[in-house]
């Protein structure tokens, strides 16, 4: 599936209420390319949780991929809670 990641840090972007993309990891560097979207193709069979290694395809998160990072190809499934 296609996801939008941050050009700078490759973390998945969130869409704010006014329709802008924002990166929760580097939004405080406005002078950089932070938050610029880059569309990438993700194979859910290859994405796994960075902690418990569960595959995204086997979780309820296959639509949203919380904390997905394109560099490591991992996401966070919530196995340690959602503080
Ligand atoms: Zn970023
Ligand atoms: Zn997990």
For residue 22, name the pLDDT band (cuts at 50, 70, 90).
confident
Pairing of strands 37-41, 2-6: antiparallel
Q: State the distance from the centre of ligand 2 to the C-alpha of 19, rounded, in angstroms.
A: 29
Interval 42-59: pLDDT, tens: 999 999 999 999 999 999
> Distance between CA 53 and CA 5 in Å, rounded?
21
The residue among 41 and 26 whose pLDDT is bigger is: 41
Report the pLDDT averaged over residues 14-19: 83
Q: State the distance from the centre of ligand 1 to the C-alpha of 45, rounded, in angstroms.
A: 24
Q: State the distance from the centre of ligand 2 to the C-alpha of 67, rounded, in angstroms.
A: 11
Q: Whole-model pTM?
A: 0.85
As beta bridge partners, residue 5 has 12, 38
Q: Where are the domains of the chain?
A: 1-76
On the question of pLDDT at 2 being above 90, the answer is yes
Q: State the distance from the centre of ligand 2 to the C-alpha of 46, rounded, in angstroms.
A: 14
């Amino acid at each position: 599936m296609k996801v939008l990641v941050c050009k700078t840090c490759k973390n998945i972007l969130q869409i704010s209420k006014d329709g802008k993309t924002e990166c929760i990891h580097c939004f405080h560097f406005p002078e950089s390319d932070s938050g610029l979207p880059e569309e990438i193709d993700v194979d859910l069979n290859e994405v796994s949780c960075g902690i418990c290694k569960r595959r995204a395809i086997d979780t309820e998160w296959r639509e949203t991929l919380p904390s997905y990072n394109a560099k490591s190809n991992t996401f966070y499934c919530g196995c340690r809670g959602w503080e």
